[in-house]
Each structure stands twice: as C-alpha cells, then as structure tokens.
Structure 1
C-alpha cells in the first residue's frame, strides 16, 4: 500500500493505492476530511479500430451508507443514477477526455464511489482527482495527471475548497481543473461576477492545482505500470493517399457551401461515391475511408479559420448569427417564448406552481426541496434524425443544469414570490449552442410569465481553433465549429456580470491569457444579444398569467396552528373543500394558500384568519345566533368564538322575551363592547344601520 497526502486549506487531502480495487488497471482511495471516494480505471484489451471517438464511460455513484442512511423505496437499495450523480459523472469525464492519445480506441471505464460523506467536503472534486490519479498509475495511456479545486467567494473573499455550509452563501462557485500551466475545464455559477473576479479565482486555483498534480506524480513513482502502446497510424498509408487524391478538392469546394444541410448532403455524396469507387480494392474500407474524409474536412475547416478568418457559414469570426425573439407564443401557458439564433431554435415555457409542486431532493449529503427547475429536451427532429424517444439523456440533464445555474441567481426570493417555477426548454432546431439559446429563451419566458427576475440573462458559446502559437477565437459557434474546433466555452449572464460558465476543451489545456480573452469577448457578445432581446421584452410583466394559480403567504401565531388544522385535520380539510384552495402551514406559523382564482384565494385566507383572530373591543362583526337563553342570545362572531348579547341590548325598546328580537340561525350585526377578566365577550346589537347607534 502506498499513500501520499497534502494540506489543502487546513484539511488533509490524501491518495492511497494498493489496498483495494487491486484488479482494476488503477485504483485510488481519495480522502479529504472524512469524505472518501474510491476511483478506479479499467480498459479493455481489444481495440475498437474504426470507432471515431474515444469509448470512455464515466460513472459516479453515491452509496447511501456513506452518510449512514438506508435507501428509500420498496427495494431499499440504490437504483438508477440521480441527477447529481449524472452531473458529477460528466464533471469527471470532461477534464480527463482531452488527455488520451488520438488513436487510443480501447473501451475505458472510470468508476467512482462515494464511500464516506462528512457533510462538510464536497465529493465531486475528489472524483476528478481520483480519476486522474487512477489513470496516471494504470497502464492506460494518459497525458495527465490533472488537478482540480473548487473556488468560492464567501463573504467577499475567495476561498479554495470551501465547506459545504459556506457554499450556501457563496456569490461565486467555480470548479477549476488544470495542468501545471493551463486550464482544462471550468464549471460554475455566480451572482453577476465580473471577468476580473473569475480571473482572480483562476489565479488563486493554479498553485493548488500544481500541488495536487505533484502529489499524483509522487504516487506514480511508487506504483506506475508500463503504459499500453498506441498505434501511430490506424489508416493504411496507401489508402489514405488514394482517398486524399480523390476527394480533397471536392471537400474544399463543399466547405464553401454556407448552408448546413446542403453542405452535409454534398459531403455525404462524396463519402458514398468514394466508398463505391474503392469498394473492390478495399472491400472493408468504409471505416478508414470515413476517417480520412473526416480528417480532410477537419483540416480544411481549421485552415480557413486560422489562415483566412473564414467560417463555414460565411460569418466574421466575431459575428453573431441572426436572432429573432417572440413571447406569448402559446395561449394557455403561464409564460412562453420562442428564441431563434441562426439554425438553433428554443421554445421555452414557464409554469408557475405551488409549494406542493416543489421537487424533493434526497441526496446522500442533503435533503431539501427545490422550487426552481429547468428541464432541457433535445428531440431527434431538431437535427433531422430518427431516434426513439426515451428518458432524458446525460447531455440533456447536463445542459438543463447549466441553464438552471445561470438563471437561479436572478430569481426573486421565496418570501416575495412564493411560487414553484418550472421552465421547460424544447429545442426545435439545432446547429450548435442550444444550451445558451435555452438561457435566452428561458429568460424571455420568465419575464413573459411575470416572474420578477433581477435582470434579463443571455448566453453565448465561444469557440477556438489553435495550431501551435496561432489561434482564432470564434463567437457564437455552430455545430461543425464545435466538432472540428478545440473549445466550447459557454458564458451566460446579465449586463452587470456573469451568472453561468462552462468550459470544455479538446486540447490538453489553455493558457490563462487566451482564456481571459475568450471570456472578455463572450461577455461583450452576450451583451449584444441582451440588446436584441430587450426589443421584445426588457422587464417582467406586471402581473402573472390569468391561468396561473394565485398565492398568498402570511403568518399566524404558532400556538394557533392546531386550531387551523383541527382534530385529525378536520378544520383545514373543511376549508379546502369549501373554497377549493391548497393550504400549507410551516412550523414557524407561515401559511401559504394557493387558489385557481383571486376570489377563492380571498375566501380561503378569510377563513384561516377568522380562526386565529381574537375578538377586539369596539369592532363590528356579522355574527350568527347560536343559542338563546332567558337573559340573552349567544352570537358566534368568529369561528368558535361566541359572545353574549344581553336581552337589554337586543332592541331599542324593552322586550319581555329574547325570541321577540332574534331567532337561532339569524345573522345579525353586533359590536364588541367589552371582554371581562375571564375572557367572556359582551356584545351589543347594532340598532340603526345608517348612523350606527348602539344601545
């Protein structure tokens, strides 16, 4: 067994190998505080030769026992991955993917288990470090290691790896992965942070990342295995030369076509024609032919951008595609918007719900409810494909989470807008940057729904093509630029600052100056988009949709909660049945009432308040005569609260019997004239309606 450790922000980060997971290619136990993650890396011995991508699988799972819990549900065991596990799996995957050799095509799997959770230290950072360490000490070819930290801005100060409790009030929450001299991946959210703030966070993280990398290198010296050999060339040289001679000129010509569909159709015709012409000489040549053609397309696309500053769709490198916006596009929804940017189109719909619609989050580390949800859907017709519709993919969950993080800092506080908010983004057409179109569409939809967001938000995806020391930064990338380029840098925010950020690279790292330049250009670009959106709507509507529920929140005395609920819930159920409202009562006396109409809302509120109200001296009430005695009538002025009208105060003249003035069940107007030391209420009947004279 070998162990290395390091102090990071006053807590010990340790890596240990050789004790567990010994049949994996690499297995590392990562511990930070009392949070422990086991990371393993395994690759198959067979090569998927003509697969055009790295067959890498990353799975992160949180085991309930890590926090001393037993899973819920009928089977009492872990089931399918929860959203947090999926998002953490993606977080681990993205920074390590660029560090595998180009021709490495072996099936590879990274598995990370949360074994112990101290509820103070977040486990996702440990998952990234563990995956890098497991790959580093294994026989799997890997150009790492990499390091990862989280930087939070707590009470105005930047902190490396802040505690979970401190993150709740962080104005910046940024996961940063990198090498010793470059940034590899970013992901986070902020309360309208400036470019300078993010740059400071990156500079703070870099030395800690270097120390974490050096710790992995120390572990590698103890336990390193010989790396697998990776073939330098997969495609036979003769075939490659023949394909290049046949298709290079045609591909360059096809790349001059600015329309996506026409260009793709032309390129596909080139592929099919080439495969047919060479099928006799190379009967199994479709795979290598496709690989060569894709390489030529990539080379020409990148050459145009680097040397000629030309893009496939004809735009300048800093030009945004044409944008159109529309709101209120669906008649019965609470808020809707259609945002179109070039060939990417998002239909965003906002629905307002009640507290009972909140999502219950039962993760290993936290149990809470969530009142804002953004769900992203990418149907196959958006790219003209035929695929079965299943549940949301990892990509859909990830894109939805990015847009949700970007908008969450702008939402009103629950006490001023007590609605559960769900935004659904349906991508109806896509040619790149659909997640940032979601931010734009969702912002428009929220304003159309009357949600008082702090400010409108927009998003942009920045790209990069880098060849040695030459590089070109692209604004608002399309799908092909994402595919053949080196960077997908998503930036979202308001006029004041950045609220969401996500950086993915296909190259092993980006120097900080280039990253800062891209961030600055992205900030400027999405400001232009905000200006276009403002022509459609620049602030939330003054009122919510007539089809949205009406909600009111108020407080009652804690000692009156039982009165409102009643024995076995009898009282509250009666109010709900009579008025058609939903009622939720918190332990602190906060009452939330939701209703389909203003009238029902007022009726429900009145009934609740009448239960908790106390009779006040001098106040006039409409009451019902409940019973009659020889000396007067008992009148119910508030639910369950009666007072006595003495026979002498029932009429302006002398009466012999109470029955001569009132009957049981009759509604009369009375005034409270006193409450004695025993709490008994004395009433007097209103005699003259016009001048309000009382006996």
Structure 2
C-alpha cells in the first residue's frame, strides 16, 4: 500500500534515517527524520499560483513540539499545545534563515514548511533534525529549491569539537554552535560561546560544514529515489529596457540621495525618487498591474547597484565612512533614577535604553517543555516600537524578529553572568530600541552589559557587539564594520559578533546569497575583533567594571545553609512557622530541599530579623550566653520567655530581679522584650533562664552578688527542745492506734525518686516542670 523510501547514514556515531512515502502523502513533500529515538516530521506544501498583485515571497516556517513526544501532558489550564513558545519561534527562524535565500528570485508562490516533533528521547535535540527534515522535504517536493542544505550542532571541550552534543555535554563544554550549509558554502550560523578565540570559532564552523556534507549526501540519495518532477518556472521577462528608462529617470536622484549622511534626509530623497518613478509608469499600472509592480521592483536594484558599487570601487559608504570605522558612540549609565540598573547606549543613529531589574527566586520564569518544567533566572526582552524607525505601525505582542534579536543578545551576555550560587538573584534585562539604523541587537548587547554592571551584577567582563556586512560581486568582496540599515538591506550578509576582551561569546550569521566561503568568514571575524575592542573602550568611558554595591532600590538577598533535618522546623506544620517569619519581619524567605535558605528584602534590618529568627530555630541555646527574647506567658512561679525565634525557657520568679519579687505581673507583662542568660538545660531540653544577671538596658552581664544558697544566713532558730519519743504518740482523734514509727506501717505510697539533700541539710529548690509555648 505504501511506497516507502528510506535512507540511513552513519552520522557522528549514530544512525540518521530519512524516510518518505508513508506519512502525509498529500503534501508536496514529507519526510520523517529519526536520530536515536527523536523523530521529526516535516511536510511542505506550495501554492500552484501567485496571488494577483503579490510582489513578495510568502514563505512560512512553523516548528512545533508535541508534548506527547516525551510522554507529557501540557501544563496549565488548557491541556493542548497553543501559541508558539519562545523555543518554537527560535527554531522556526533557525529553519527559515538558511532556506529562504535558496529560492529563485522569480518564485513568489506561497510555501508552508511545517515541522512536528513526534518523539523526543531527551538526548538528541530535535531542532537540527527538523532543519534536516525540512531540507529533505523541500528537495523531494519538486518546488524550485536550490538546495539541499545540511545542518549540524557543534560543542567544544578540552580542545576537541563534539558533533551533535547532548544538553549535558553542551552545559559542561564551552560552545553551542549550529551551522546550516550547502555542499559548497555556509548559509547560517547561530552560537553561544564561553569567550572562545576567533580561530576556535572558525574551526567549529568548518567542522560543522564537513558534518553537514554527510547529511546532504543522504538527502540526495533519498531524492534519487523519491523526488517529484520539478516545477516549471515561467520564463524570465527581459526588463532591460524598463531598467534603462528608470536609470535615466531617477539614477542621478538616487546617487545624490545615497550621498546624504543623515538617515531622515536620505530617506526623504529616496522616497521622492520612488514617487517620480511611480508617476512615470502610472499608465502601465492601469494596463498591466503585475508588470507595473515588477517594474517598480527594479528601483531597489538600482539602489543596490549605486550603494554596492560605491563600496566596492571607491571604499565609500552611505554615511561617508570607510569599511572599518565604527560610528560615534555615546554611553550613559544610571540613566533612570528608580531602576536597579540602567544605560542609554547610542551608536550613530541606533539607540537603546537598557534596564536591569533584580528579583528573588519567585520571579524566575517557569518553562514547560519537552524536558519537563525548568526555571530560567536570566531573561532578556527586546522591544522594537515603530517610532524607532520613524514609522507608524502596529504595536502589540513581540514578533518573531523581536524574539530572535532578544535571544541573540541573551546568548551574548549569558556566558559572563555569575552562577546562581555566586549571585542568587533573578535577572531581567529589557532593551527598548528608541532609534534604529542598523544593528539594534548589538546595541542591546552593549547597553545590556552596561546596565548589568550599573546594577551591581558581577559580570566576568564587559561585553560588546558589532554587526558586519558583506558586498560580494564575483570574486571581489568587501567586509564592512558596523553596518547601517540600508547596507543590511542592500548587502549580502548580516554577520554579528559579540564578546569580551578575552574572546567571543556569541556569533550569528545570515546571508542573502547561496553561501560564503571560509576566507570571507575569516576576514569578517578579524575585522569584527578590532571593532569590538574599539566599542569596549568607548563603553569603559561610562563604566569600566561592575559597581561595588547594589542599587538602593534593589532587594538584598542573604543565603543561609541549614541542616536538612531542620527544614521541617523552619517551615512548621502547614507552613505556619515560615509564614509567621515572613509576616512579622517583612522579609521574603525561600527554602529548597537541600536546606538552602534565601532571605530577601530591600530593608537590611528585615533580613537580619528573619535570619536571627531562623537561626534561633535551628541552633541550640548555649549555656552562659545572653539572648534577647520576649515574655510569652506568666505563671505564679515565673515567666516563660521566647528567645532565638523558636525556643522557650523559664525565668523563675527568683531570677527576675535581685531583690524579692512578690508577684510576676508586678514586674513583667506579656510581649515585653527582655534580655536573658541561659543558666542551664536539663536532659529533656528544658531551659532555665535568668534576667537578674543581665543589664536590661545594655544587655551586658552583671556580677551575681547574691551568695550561694548554702551560705545565706537563716537566722537563729534556738533550742527546740527534745522531740520526744515518737514511738508512743497516743491514740488518734478517731480512737485508732497510731502505732510507733518503728512498727509496721504498711506499704507506702509511691512518691517517686526523692533527690538527695544538699550538704547544708536543705532540700534543693526545684523549678517546676513546664511545657513549651505550643504545649501551653
């Protein structure tokens, strides 16, 4: 029934299997890719015609992780997969970026590339596998796709590259890099690194490209068995005459416009030239709308020729710079008065307000994914409002571009952050782009680094970022530093590098042509190194290192490690104790299963109060030590005092003051703060306290002037005379015989063990047995 075709290859010590013909047979191309027990289905469909008036390429890539793939049910109220998560959005972009340049310019049919993760083994990541499945599905679909592409993930540890490492290997290593490439050239790079050199990063890209070629060979084998007939493209219409007419009409206007260094003036001049072209071809619009739109697209080609020629031939860029100069930089920290950390970073006509907010563990982001619940303590959010480019537009939830740019900046800063043990805060950085003319994501990296240092986050080193561009014509090329928006649109590459003075922390590359060579990448990395160093120097003028203390408005967090056996005592029955600590001190208290306690508040006195309370619960009282407590109960023979947060002890009435106290209530009242000294602790843990030996004002210990009990004068008792013979005491009043002491008195009542008398002949004084406050 099924005409199933399968290809398997050995890839990085594992078997990669590509199969088609059994599932999703009505799609133009459908491939199931399997690596280990991770399985991804990709289905491709394309419209057979172009909508009237359409002048763009509507490619949509959608990647979705099915929770059943890892044997889980989605959390939350809705028990089904809903809108795309951040990871799904990022992987969708990861697939889109390398395949988009490989469609012919004249092909404008709508295409859907839909990838579903059907099984996940927790070891082999599905994102790279989805890229492979998408490439294979497009290759066999028959649509005009100039692929295939291969993809690979690379790790790096102990001087060796790792192909398709697991999450654990990535976490333990120094690199997480994903590359997509054709047989001859690299198409896309996405990475996070722990301050690696340019040579190591370039070696990783080359290593990934070699691994990708094996995947491409497997896809070609599958296509030889299962590829559909290729679509026939309509013949290219020769528009040389229309282009020549446009050039004579507005060529000089465009050339003059692209010599204006101010962005707004330049855009106004370019728009005037475009309006002139539209007016000149107004008759064509009525006769043939499709041809009219195609003709107007030639205006962009004229713009590209003018800009690219000036850079390649004259080395002169739109704003008058050479190929290596970075635009003027101005950085300010402490820009906002109430934020925990803030920076205003301006580079030319690109500007970002970056803020850092510090929070407690409660503020961590919970992520529900294929690996289960996880928590993220560092977040970076990037916002790109329309006013940043002087436009009117929709203002709403962040789109794919904003999510992607934010994640790029996140990857650049994440490697230099302290660990949670070193800095137990949740960190959120927000970048609001207020002006944009090229590389706002790299402005986010620079501004984010400054705002983190302004907030007192102990970064390993400051991080800067720069965007590189490329103009390639045949064998001639020019790499340009710190590209403008127009240079990005009209150029061939967007190559972004971020890092510290010690190495690269993030590398991202997108291209608009069918790949670039190792030589171009090496040149771009070297030139980016110079640019990053210059930007770091400019940033240091504002703030060169992390501030020594946190903002006055930031919460303070103090950690305390207790024995795991004491966790129940700190929490209390149903959380009673910990809730009482929070309510009375005002501090936040978090405790984990290992006994690590985090106490947070913007008021240090609240932290100290909560800390002392907890220490009082977990520590044992020390005999001879003085503590501060409060009276919690009064009885005839003394007062119970709560001290160390969770301990109660008895102050006997004789230990309240040095002089005689007739009634406890005459001296003390419930809730009264007192200072007490621990006199002793019996075998049952009952604590005897004294107030009279402590100065209640200063807490200093006083000299005990009372003599020991056996030395105290008792007064003259005189001669009491003979006591007589107790043996014959006469009859009782009721007439019964008393009997002599030496006679048979019968069994005695059991009175328990009676303590021995002291050497002075006097029985010791007993503190009455008492219960704790909870038992009272």
TM-score (structure 2 length as normaliser): 0.86
Distance 1:200 1:544 in 2: 40
Pair 1:78-2:81 in alignment: yes
Aligned twin of 1:440: 446
2:702 to 666, 670, 692: 692
Structure 1 position 52, deviation (Å): 4.6
2:254 corresponds in structure 1 to 251
CA contact (8 A) 2:75 2:368 kept: no
Asked if structure 1 preserves the Cα contact closer than 8 Å seen for 2:627 and 2:677, the reply is yes
Q: 2:225 aligned with 1:215, yes or no? A: no
Name the SS for the 2:283 alignment partner.
Answer: coil
Asked if 1:384 corresponds to 2:383, the answer is: no
Query: Among residues 103, 106, 125, which one is paired with 1:103 in the alignment?
Result: 106
Aligned to 1:25: 28
| Correspondence list, 1:161-172, <5 A | 161-172=164-175
Q: What does residue range 623-662 of structure 1 map to in structure 2 within 5 Å?
A: 623-627=629-633, 633-646=639-652, 649-652=655-658, 655=660, 659=664
* 8 A Cα contact 1:427 1:434, kept in partner: yes
What residue number does 1:507 align with? 513
Q: Residues 240-279 of structure 1: matches in 2 within 5 Å?
A: 240-279=243-282
In structure 2, what is the Cα distance between the partners aligned to 1:293 and 1:373? 42
| Cα distance, 1:148–1:345 mapped onto 2, change above 3 Å | same
| Kept in 1: contact 2:358–2:426 (CA 8 A) | yes
Q: Work out whether residues 101 and 230 of structure 1, in 8 Å CA contact, stay in contact via their aligned partners in 2.
A: no
SS at match of 2:208: helix
Is this contact kept in 2: 1:195–1:520, CA < 8 A? yes
Residue by residue over 1:501-544, the C-alpha shift from the partner in whole angstroms, topping out at 9 and shown as x without a partner, is 10001111111121111012112211100000001100111111
Of the candidates 119, 143, 150, which is equivalent to residue 116 of structure 1?
Answer: 119
- Aligned positions, number: 694
Q: For 1:584 and 1:209, locate their aligned partners in 2 and report how far apart those are by CA, in whole Å.
A: 47
CA distance in 2, matches of 1:222, 1:559: 65
Per the alignment, residue 738 of structure 2 pairs with none
Comparing 132-141 with 51-60, greater Cα deviation is found at 51-60
In 2, Cα distance between equivalents of 1:469 and 1:407: 36
Residue 134 of structure 1 corresponds to which residue in structure 2?
A: 137
- Which deviates more from structure 2 when the two are superposed, residues 527-536 or residues 622-631? 622-631
Distance in 2 (CA, whole Å) between partners of 1:286 and 1:606 is 79
CA 1:332–1:22 in structure 2 vs 1: closer, same or farther (change >3 Å)?
same
1:557 corresponds, among 557, 563, 566, to 563
- Alpha-carbon deviation of 1:157? 3.0
Give the C-alpha shift of residue 195 in structure 1.
Answer: 0.6
Do structure 1's residue 419 and structure 2's residue 425 form an aligned pair? yes
Counterpart CA distance in 2 for 1:465 and 1:309 is 11
Contact 1:630 1:657 in 2 (8 A): no
The one of 557, 574, 582 equivalent to 1:576 is 582
1:615 to 602, 616, 621: 621
Separation in structure 1 between the aligned mates of residue 311 and residue 606 of structure 2, nearest angstrom: 62
| Aligned ranges 1:224-303 → 2 under 5 Å | 224-234=227-237, 236-281=239-284, 283=286, 284=289, 286-303=292-309
Shift, 1:236, TM fit: 4.3
Q: Which runs of 5+ in 1 are unaligned?
A: none
1:647-686 alignment, distance < 5 Å: 649-652=655-658, 655=660, 659=664, 663=668, 665=670, 667-686=673-692
Q: Does 1:153 align with 2:192?
A: no
Aligned CA-pair RMSD: 2.0
The answer to whether the Cα contact below 8 Å between 1:6 and 1:13 also exists between their aligned partners in 2 is yes
- The alpha carbon displacement at 1:38 in A equals 0.4
Q: Deviation of residue 603 (structure 1)?
A: 2.1
Shift of 1:390: 1.2
SS in 1 for 2:623: coil
Query: What displacement does 1:332 show?
Result: 1.2
> Is 1:595 the counterpart of 2:598 in the alignment?
no
Change in 2 beyond 3 A, CA 1:261/1:104 = same
Partner residue of 2:363?
357
Residues 450-469 of structure 1 correspond to what in structure 2 (within 5 A)? Answer: 450-469=456-475
> Is 580-589 or 566-575 further displaced after alignment?
566-575
* Aligned-partner Cα distance in 2 for 1:534–1:51: 49
What secondary structure is seen at the aligned counterpart in 2 of 1:168?
A: helix
- Distance in 1, Cα, partners of 2:284 & 2:190: 49
CA offsets per residue over residues 243-294 of structure 1, 9 Å max, x none?
Answer: 2332223322322222222222122212212221232355335412321111
Equivalence for 2:717: none
1:414-437, Cα deviation, whole Å (9 max, x unpaired): 122111111110110111100001
Deviation of 1:366 (Å): 3.9
Q: Distance in 2 between matches of 1:326 and 1:659?
A: 65
Deviations 1:628-668 (A, max 9, x none): 66765543333342234455555546x58574995453544
Q: After superposing the two structures, state which structure 1 stretch, 644-653 or 107-116, moved more.
A: 644-653
1:550-607: per-residue Cα shift (whole Å, max 9, x none)?
Answer: 2211122222222222222222222222222222111111111221322222222222
Q: Is the 8 A contact 2:239 2:295 kept in 1?
A: no
The yes-or-no answer on 1:547 pairing with 2:550 is no
For residues 660 and 528 of structure 1, what CA distance do their matches in structure 2 show?
A: 76
Equivalent in 536, 541, 553 of residue 542 of structure 2: 536
Among 61, 66, 69, which residue is 1:63 paired with? 66
CA distance in 2, matches of 1:368, 1:384: 39
Conserved 8 A contact 2:626-2:678: yes
The DSSP-based 3-state class of the residue aligned with 2:693 is strand
Instruction: Report the TM-score when normalising by structure 1.
Output: 0.96
Contact 1:650–1:661 (CA under 8 A) maintained in structure 2: no
Give deviations 1:310-341, integer Å, cap 9, x for gaps.
Answer: 11111001111111111111111111111111
**Match of residue 475, structure 1, among 481, 493, 496:** 481
Contact 2:615/2:644, CA 8 A, preserved across alignment: no
Unaligned 5+ runs, structure 2: 707-776
The 1-side partners of 2:318 and 2:606 are apart by 58
- 1:235–1:447 distance in 2 versus 1, CA, 3 Å: farther
Moved more, 100-109 or 268-277: 268-277
Instruction: Check 1:155–1:693 CA distance in 2 against 1; reply closer, same or farther (3 A cut).
Output: farther
Alpha-carbon displacement from aligned partner over 1:108-155 (angstroms, at most 9, x marks no partner): 111100000101111110111111111111111111111111001135
SS in 1 for 2:110: strand
